[in-house]
Amino acid sequence: METTENRQTIFSGIQPTGNLTLGNYLGALKNMSSLQSAYDCIYCVVDMHSITVTQEPSTLRKKTYDLLALYLATGLDPTRSIIFVQSHVSAHAELTWVLNCLTYMGEASRMTQYKEKSKQHADNINVGLFDYPVLMASDILLYNTALVPIGQDQKQHLELARTLAQRFNAKYSPTFIVPEPYIAKVGGKIMSLANPTKKMSKSDVNENASIYLTDDADIIVRKVKRAVTDSDSTIRHSASKAGISNLIVIYSLSSGKSIKEVEKQFEGSNYGIFKQAVADSVIAKLSPIQQEQKRLLQDKTYLDSVLKEGAIKAETLARRTLAKVYRKVGLIPRQF
C-alpha cells in the first residue's frame, strides 16, 4: 500500500450474505474501487457480522470467497488496498469487548436495524445481533479510519462509532480518530424496479425488484423490460417520474454519461427502446465483472494468498491500536 503521511484512511465492509444487487455495485462497490487512488483503503468481508443471523456454514464459506472474488473483480486492488476477512483478525472481536463495556444498553437498544432485525428473526434474537453495531464500531476504530462510505441505513451505526470514539478519548486520553461518513459525489441510490420509490435491496423478497450481480443477460433484459414506469412516454429525469428517473440513473452510471446527456440521447425515443439500451449498458458493465469473478473463484490458491497478505497487513495495524487500548484501560501487557 502506498502510504503517504497525508492520505486519509477509508474503511468499508460488506457482509458475505444475501445476493448483492446492481444497487450495491453502482452505489458502493464502484466507488470503493475509485477511492483507492486518493485514500488508504481497507476493505473487509465482515463474516462475523453475518453470523448474527442463522447461516448455513458451507454457504457462508462459499459466499465469503464469492465476495472476495467480487471485490477483486470490481477493481479492488490488493497491492494498493488492504483486503481481508474480518474473522482473520481477532482484534476486531477483542476491541468489541472493550467497547461493549463503554456502550449503554439504552444506546444499543435504540438502533433501528436491531429493532427491525429482531422482528425479522423473532426466533433468534441473540446477543450478537444486539452487539452488531459495536463490532462495526471496532472495525472502523481499529484502523484510525477517517472516512466510512455508507448508505443512509448505516448512519446510526456510524454515529454510535463516533460516540464510542469520543467517549473513550474523553475517559482515557485521545486514542481514536472520530470517523466521518463519506458521501459519494457520484453514485448514490438505485431504486427497486418493482417499486421505484423504495431502495433496491438485497433483502427484497420480490426477485423482479432487483438486478442481482449474478444475473445473466437474459434475466437482466427481462427485469429491465418489466420495470415499473409511468404512462407518459418522455425520457426525462423528474420527481414525478420515479421509475424512468431510476432507469436514467442506472443508464447514466453504467455508461458514464451524465443525466442531461442521457435525456438528450433518448429525446423523442420510446420506453421500449430506452429500456433495451438500459439493459444493454448494465450487461456491458456486469458481464466482464462476472467473468473475472468466475475466473478468480477457480484460483483458490491466489484468493488465499490475497487473504493471507491482507490479514497480515490488517493485523499489524489493528494490534497496534488494540495494545494501546488495553494499556489505557489498565489491562497489563503480556510479558511472555
The residues annotated as belonging to the active site are 117, 199, 202
Instruction: Kindly tell me which of 20 and 140 has the beta carbon lying closer to ligand TRP.
Output: 140
Site residues for ligand TRP, 1-20, by CB under 6 A, read 11-13, 15
User: Among 1-9, 118-126, 136-144, 292-300, which window interacts with ligand TRP (CB under 6 A)?
Assistant: 136-144
Give the Cα separation of 257 and 247 in Å (integer): 13
Cell digits of residue 321: 491500536
Cell digits of residue 64: 465469503
* Residue span 156-185 as binding mask against ligand TRP, x where in contact by CB under 6 A, dash where not: -x----------------------------
Helix axes 57-73, 271-297, angle to 10 degrees: 110
As a residue count, the chain comes to 336
Nearest to 245 by CA among 218, 266, 214: 266
Interface with ligand TRP includes 23 (CB under 6 A)? no
Q: Residue 117 carries which side chain, given as an amino acid letter?
A: K
> Nearest residue to ligand TRP, using CB?
13
Instruction: Kindly tell me which of 67 and 136 has the beta carbon lying closer to ligand TRP.
Output: 136
Least spacing, CB of residue 12 vs ligand TRP, in Å: 5
Site residues for ligand TRP, 94-133, by CB under 6 A, read none
CA neighbours within 13 Å on the CB side: how many for 285? 24
Least spacing, CB of residue 153 vs ligand TRP, in Å: 7
Give the Cα separation of 236 and 233 in Å (integer): 9
Interface with ligand TRP includes 35 (CB under 6 A)? no
Nearest to 83 by CA among 137, 23, 16, 151: 16
Do the beta carbons of residue 235 and residue 267 sit within 8 Å?
Answer: yes
Report the residue from 55, 154, 175, 265 that binds ligand TRP according to the rule CB under 6 A.
Answer: 154
Least spacing, CB of residue 111 vs ligand TRP, in Å: 11
Nearest to 182 by CA among 137, 156, 159, 150: 150
Residue 206: CB partners within 8 Å, gap ≥ 6?
192, 194
Least spacing, CB of residue 187 vs ligand TRP, in Å: 15
Longest CA–CA span in the chain (Å) reads 76
Considering CB under 6 A, how many residues would be counted as binding ligand TRP?
A: 13
Interface with ligand TRP includes 46 (CB under 6 A)? yes
Interface with ligand TRP includes 140 (CB under 6 A)? yes
Please give the residue ranges that form the binding site for ligand TRP (CB under 6 A): 11-13, 15, 46, 49, 136, 139-140, 148, 150, 154, 157
